[in-house]
Amino acid sequence: MSEDFVGRDLFAEIDRLKKQKNAVILAHYYQNPDIQDVADFVGDSLELARRAQQSQAKLILFAGVHFMAEGAKILNPHSKVIMPDLRAGCSLSDSCPPDAFARFREKNPDHFVISYINCSAAIKAQSDVICTSSNAVKIVEHAPKDRPILFAPDRNLGQWVAGKTGRELTLWQGACIVHETFSERKIIALQVQHPDAELIAHPECEPSLLARAQFIGSTSALLKYVTESPKKKFIVATEEGILHAMKKQAPGKELIPAPPNQNCACNECPFMKLNTLEKVYLALRDEKPEIEMPEELRLKALAPLQRMLEWSA
Ligand code: 13P
Ligand code: SF4
């Protein structure tokens, strides 16, 4: 990036551009705090998909990762959808290539296919219905009882949902690099040090960690839990970006980010963190990079997304 941003009030410039262009900024809870603060709406995957679908804005800047912005375009083709950085992908989505998934489906031809929203449009197009971490249990419960279920791409979410619903799921073996990084050993040590703290976790974490958690839920569900719980202290096992909203909405609570395996910042999603305030400004100013896809693919991916929204209304 060659432009000099020193001394500029990007918050004010972004605000001006939003008004001038009839644009909205939708941001995920894993975004940097300044991006969350400049956004019109911050939410989890399901809330963001709903917002995108209902938006009347001419321009949607999606501050999240690629599959989320792609989902916004699928649901709202009349808006121009842009991202701060097109390279913001997702390891979980990447763990499920469309050709390999097609072969997996061919081996299980009678299965009803449920895909987690963290996947590409090409995977969505091969699915019967989509789910997010906040409605996965409801969607699996809603699936036809007389059909076996194929669940992709997250094996940890799949295993957790199977346990909650009692349904047997054939799982694609994908995972998220961030949620598989937490060290159980270090979390146990933290629990010994803070016996009054509750462990709360995102269902993308490994089953052994989830078995220790007092509460499991999507980013929004974790935020709601911390805000409404009478408890004062929480060990939070998900990407650390959510702590910003937790601190704002539950200022009296003590939040301890779950530690990763190594002394690294690997509890930060490297894809989400590719987005910066400077890139948000440039994307709004230049109206690019834009999410584009063939209409045929969009329509195929739209049907299972719409089914999800109907089933979880
Ligand atoms: P949520 O749907 O809980 O916001 O999760 C999205 C995600 O990418 C988790 O890693
Ligand atoms: Fe993908 Fe994991 Fe990042 Fe979520 S945290 S966007 S699942 S890589």
Name the residue ranges covered by the structural domains of the chain.
10-89+272-292, 92-176+299-311, 184-257
Task: Assess whether pLDDT exceeds 90 at residue 80.
Answer: yes
Cα 120 → chain centroid:
13
As a whole number, mean pLDDT of residues 48-73 equals 98
11-37 core/surface letters (b: 16 or more CB in 10 A; e: else): eeebeebbeebebbbbbbbbbbebbbe
Mean of pLDDT values over 87-104:
98
pLDDT tens sequence across 112-131: 999 999 999 999 999 999 99
Tell me the mean pLDDT in the region 62-77. 98
DSSP 1-27: --S--TT--HHHHHHHHHHHHTEEEEE
Contact 5, 278 (CB under 8 A): yes
3-state secondary structure (DSSP) of residue 216: strand
**How much of the chain, in percent, has pLDDT values that exceed 70?**
99
Overall average pLDDT of the 142-158 stretch: 98
Which of 46, 123, 239 for a ligand 2 pocket mutation test, highest count of atoms within 8 Å of Cβ? 239
Nearest C-alpha to atom 6 of ligand 2 is from which residue?
A: 90
Handedness of CA 292, 294, 299, 304 (dihedral sign): negative
Residue % of the chain over a pLDDT of 90: 95
48, 92, 118: residue to mutate for ligand 1 pocket, most atoms within 8 A of CB: 118
Query: What integer pLDDT is reported at residue 1 of this predicted model?
Result: 57
Output the pLDDT for position 178. Answer: 95
Q: Are 137 and 116 in contact (CB under 8 A)?
A: no
* Those residues with Cβ within 8 angstroms of residue 175's Cβ, 6 or more apart along the chain or in another chain: 91, 92, 95, 154, 155, 156, 204
Instruction: Give CA–CA dist 133/202, Å, rounded.
Output: 8
In angstroms, the CA 173 to CA 114 distance is 14
Judge whether 36 and 27 are in contact, CB under 8 Å. Answer: yes
CATH number for the domain whose boundaries are 92-176+299-311: 3.40.50.10800
Output the CA–CA distances (angstroms, integers) from residue 107 to 27, 101, 103, in the order listed. 38, 10, 6
Cα 20 to averaged position of ligand 1 atoms, centre (Å): 31
b/e sequence 194-217, b meaning 16+ C-beta within 10 Å: eeebbbbbbbbbbeebbeebebbb
**Residue of 96, 202, 224, 236 best suited for mutating to test ligand 1, as the one with most atoms within 8 Å of CB:** 202
Ligand 2 mean position to 175 CA, how many Å? 9
CA of 92 to the centre of ligand 2 (A): 6
The three-state secondary structure class of 307 is: helix
| Strand-strand pairing, 254-257 and 233-237 | parallel
C-alpha to C-alpha distance for 307 and 313, rounded to whole angstroms: 10
Start-to-end CA span in the chain (Å): 42
Looking at every residue in the chain, the average pLDDT score rounds to 97
Q: What is the mean pLDDT of residues 77-94?
A: 98
Q: Which atom of ligand 2 is nearest to the CA of 30?
A: 5
Q: How do residues 228-237 score in pLDDT, each as one tens digit?
A: 999 999 999 9
Q: How many helices (H) and strands (E) does the chain have?
A: 15, 12
Report the CATH fold assignment for 10-89+272-292.
Answer: Rossmann fold (3.40.50)
192 C-alpha to ligand 2 centroid (Å): 29
Interacting residues of 177 by C-beta distance below 8 A, sequence separation 6+: 91, 266
pLDDT, tens only, 201-254: 999 999 999 999 999 999 999 999 999 999 999 999 999 999 999 999 999 999
Q: What is the dotted CATH code of the domain comprising 184-257?
A: 3.40.50.10800
- C-alpha 59 to ligand 1 mean position (Å): 23
The Cα–Cα gap between 271 and 191 comes to 30
